[in-house]
Every structure is written in C-alpha cells, then in structure tokens.
Amino acid sequence: MKSMLQGAPWLLAHKSMLFVNKPRKISLYGTDYVLWKDGVGKINALPNACPHMGAMLSEGWCEQKEDKSSVVVCPFHALEFDAEGCTILPGSGKKTLPQLQPLELIIQGDFIWSYGGVETKVPIPNILNEVAADYEFIGHTADTSVETDLLSMLLNMHDYNHQNGTHRPLFKIEEVQFGKFIDNGHESHAFYNMPTAKSSLREKLQNTALLALPKVIEGHLENHFPSLVIFHGESALGKVAQCHIFVPESEMRTRTYILMFGKGKNPAFKMLGNNFLQLAKVVVEQDADILSKIYPNTPQKIKLNNEVGMDWVRRNFASFPEIVEPNFSSK
C-alpha cells in the first residue's frame, strides 16, 4: 500500500524528547512501539504489545541494570524485556529467546530515524545533521497526532495560500507574495514574503508569540520529501531553522512535531527561544484543527495561484519512490 510511502525514512524522535528510563509509545505504519533511552543514552525500540497478554509496554516502567542498560517492564504482570526482546520467566532464572522483534533504528547524533522494518527506497536526508552542526538546538514542540492521512498532512504543509484562513487569527497576514520554486526532485525550495498587519501593544501582551513576528515574514521552505520541511527565517537578531517532521502512524493518523534550531547574532535572541516554540505550537494546533475539518476526497474543481508546492507533493506521492516529470521550478 502506497498511502504511507513505505520505503521512506521517518524521524521518530529527537533524543531530547525521551527521558532516561521512561518508556514512550511511538506509532508507525499501524504498529505501536515502545521506545526508551537507557542510562548511557542508548535508544531501544520494541513492539508495544506484551507477548504475554498484550498489555502496552509503554504504560510500564524501566529498570536499570548494573551496566546502566535498562529493560522495559510490563505494567500487567511485570515481565521485563531487554533491548533484544528477551525476558526471564519467573523461576527459570534464564533468558528466553527473543519474544519481540526490535524495531530497527538508525541513530544519527540526536536524531532517531527508522524505516519501520520496510525495505529502504529513499535515503535519509543529511540536512538535519548539517543544521544540528551549525545551529543551536532550541527545543521541540507541538508533538501532535492528527486524524488525517499522510497526503492531506503534506498538502497542508506545502499550501502557500492557507495562511489567510487557517492561520488568520495569529498572523494577520495581508497577502502572500510568491517568489520562486526550485524543484530538485524529492528536495525543493519555496521562497515567498508575507507582510503581516501591525499588532497593538495590547495584542502583543496578550499573545507574546507576536513579539517574535517581523513586519514581513520572509519565508524560505526547504522541503525534503516526504518526512521533513524546514522553515528558514531570519531577522536582525538571528536565524531560525524550524523543522517540521511528519510520521505516518497509520493510514488515517499522521503525527507531526517541530524541532527548533537557532543561531543568534544578538544576545537578545536567546530570550526569544520560548516565543518561537510558543508561536510554532499555535501554528501546528491551527493546522491540526483545519485538517480535522476537511473532506479529504473532495474533487478539486478550483485552483488558486501558487499551488505549486501541492503539485510537487502530488507528483512525488503518485510516483514514489521514482521522480517523474514535470519539473515545477519557476522564475
């Protein structure tokens, strides 16, 4: 089945999203997994259903061993499973064969990628490693599971006209001035400007996220199909790389979250970190809200200007993993 683009790499989490010895549920391709980080920072992942009677391992806890590795303990009858999925049955005193097949992870620095156990068709983009080397990590935000399919989620992210509707209460964007689109296959770049209406001091005090908003939002979206979109923003104080991550949890459930990176030119920039996260969180909430309020299979009878990003998504989706004509570069 193609609707979840099997064969693409998915970024399941940034290490900062996992607490040491605290199990966390992650879903991919309709299967739930339990992820946990042990005392030496190693990340483990097993299917979440306990092979005894199906309890969710992510609802259990971790137990640390002498070498600082840890096992996940089932909340139902307290069987413990190590990273290989082996357990020790009460009274036996020795390890069983693996009862659960670990999910294969690819760890690059703090980034936890996975192909979900499916044959690899598309390489992991290197860009996040470059961003991590060049910028400071500000934090993660807006980890949201939305009841929508992957295609609808990606279309929303590459829709350069939805600011006026979906994000109107926040941005007060007057118009979108589209610049250019560079189509390099599974990678693309969109450049546009969005002048924002002035907010009063009162509005700023009520919504401090507005403080981080310039008069004109100069947008550069760097897209890496299908799992990553980076919004590059720059102001006098510094630069941000706001990384939007997508994970197909199941056919009709898609997860998104943001990893925020920044590079300050001015000490005041640091203080804005939380504002950026706050602003980004509101943006994702608004997107999640509209995605739950559309009929995704409605035939599109009307086409607006600047839907090139969505055309790019549709082409890549339809031909995945191959890239076929047309080339959508403009200007």
Q: In whole angstroms, how close is the CB of 159 to Fe ion at the nearest point?
A: 7
Q: Is 53 in the site for ligand FES (CB under 6 A)?
A: yes
Q: Is 76 in the site for ligand FES (CB under 6 A)?
A: yes
User: What three-state secondary structure class fits 238?
Assistant: strand
Which among 52-60, 132-140, 196-204, 304-312 is the span making contact with ligand FES, rule CB under 6 A? 52-60
Cα separation, 73 vs 271, whole angstroms: 40
Which among 13-21, 70-78, 240-248, 291-299 is the span making contact with ligand FES, rule CB under 6 A? 70-78
User: Considering beta carbons, is residue 77 or 168 the nearer one to ligand FES?
Assistant: 77
Whole-angstrom CA distances from 321 to 182, 185, 255, 318 are 19, 10, 21, 9
Whether the CA torsion 135, 277, 175, 327 is positive or negative: it is: positive
User: Considering beta carbons, is residue 102 or 195 the nearer one to ligand FES?
Assistant: 102
Please pick, from the candidates 79, 132, 209, 247, the single residue that binds ligand FES as defined by CB under 6 A.
79
Query: CB-based burial of residue 9 (10 Å sphere; 0-12 exposed, 13-18 middle, 19+ buried)?
Result: buried
Q: Is 282 in the site for ligand FES (CB under 6 A)?
A: no
Which among 45-53, 108-116, 202-210, 282-290 is the span making contact with ligand FES, rule CB under 6 A? 45-53
SS (H, E, C) 87-104: CECCCCCCECCCCCCCCC
Alpha helices by DSSP H, the chain: 127-134, 150-157, 168-171, 201-206, 268-271, 273-291, 308-319
Type of residue at 239: K
Please pick, from the candidates 213, 287, 313, 316, the single residue that binds Fe ion as defined by CB under 5 A.
287
Please pick, from the candidates 25, 52, 65, 265, the single residue that binds ligand FES as defined by CB under 6 A.
52
Q: Which residue is nearest to Fe ion (CB)?
A: 287
Cα separation, 57 vs 63, whole angstroms: 13
Choose the contact partner of 287 out of ligand FES, Fe ion, none; CB within 5 to 8 A by kind: Fe ion
Beta bridge partners of 254: 146, 248
Binding site for Fe ion (CB under 5 A): 287
Binding site for ligand FES (CB under 6 A): 50, 52-53, 55, 74, 76-77, 79
